[in-house]
Amino acid sequence: MVFHSIVLMDFDAWTQPVGLITALLMAGGVVAAVLTLTRQIDRLRKVPGTITGLRQFPSMKVTEAEVTVAPPLAGAQCRAICPCDL
């Protein structure tokens, strides 16, 4: 996406303030993409847990998992929705 934006943007626009802003936004997007693809987001916040219960809702195609974490997470709310690696 960034490559196509660089190629397709008018060359004279890069010398204008809009070119600088565009370049900064593109650089930020590239950094965010690299961090996401290398799984660096929330890397330090992961904690081990044990699945203690499963409940399926076939009509909604949803599975509810009850997970016990040790030690308990400070400030965590009950019934929080969180992504899991199963």
pLDDT in tens, the chain (86 residues): 788 888 888 888 888 998 899 899 999 999 999 999 998 887 777 777 888 889 888 898 888 888 887 776 666 655 556 666 55
Q: Is residue 29 situated within a structural domain?
A: yes
Tell me how many domains the chain contains: 1
Q: Is residue 7 situated within a structural domain?
A: yes
Taken in order 25, 31, 73, 86, is the CA torsion positive or negative? positive
Q: Residue 6's domain spans which residues?
A: 2-37
pTM reported for the whole predicted model: 0.54
State the Cα angle at 76 between 70 and 46, rounded to 5°: 55
Taken in order 42, 43, 45, 49, is the CA torsion positive or negative? positive
Q: Is residue 46 situated within a structural domain?
A: no
Place of tokens 């400070």: 74
